[in-house]
Amino acid sequence: MADNNAGVMMEVIEKGLPRAMGAEAFKTLRQEFGNAPIGESIVATLVAKTWGKSVNLNCFFHQEATGNKFMISVFREHAGQRYTDRAGDVDFSVAGNEGSIYELTIRKSSRSKFPALISAKLVEAKALDCEVT
């Protein structure tokens, strides 16, 4: 794992934030992570995840190439479904995927003012090097 991504993940870990983070952790992370960039072939590392107030999972990413840190939400339509990109390719709610690198396509949502994660492709599966509770 590149030093920049490891540093960003260690910052999150040092704050004592658990993997299944809630509202307080979201507030802390959201101050440091901006809005998702619009574009295709955005390569970024999943750093952390927090549960949203609705049926969403907030995913926090770091782009090593630019240093950009951003947040984007993924959703599920109905109970029992996975929290995925719109194409349904990657389930971000699985445990242990923090540290993995993804290639993302993000577009302006037709449903809201927020960006939408259209597709995601796993580039490299990695896990954090330390235990996070």
Count up the domains in the chain and report the number: 1
Of the pLDDT bands very low, low, confident and very high (cuts 50, 70, 90), residue 7 is low
Asked if residue 133 is part of any domain, the answer here is no
Asked if residue 71 is part of any domain, the answer here is yes
Q: Do 89 and 105 meet the contact criterion of CB atoms below 8 Å apart?
A: no
Asked if residue 16 is part of any domain, the answer here is yes
8-state DSSP, 114: S
More confidently predicted of 28 and 23: 28
More confidently predicted of 50 and 23: 50
Sheet holding 115-124, edge to edge: 34-35, 69-75, 56-62, 39-51, 101-108, 115-124
Asked if residue 87 is part of any domain, the answer here is yes
Asked if residue 129 is part of any domain, the answer here is no
CATH number of the domain bearing residue 27: 2.40.50
Residue pLDDT, tens place only, 69-110: 999 999 987 777 889 999 999 999 988 899 999 999 999 987
pTM above 0.85, yes or no: no
Average predicted confidence (pLDDT) for the chain: 82
Asked if residue 132 is part of any domain, the answer here is no
Residue numbers of the domain that contains 53 = 3-124
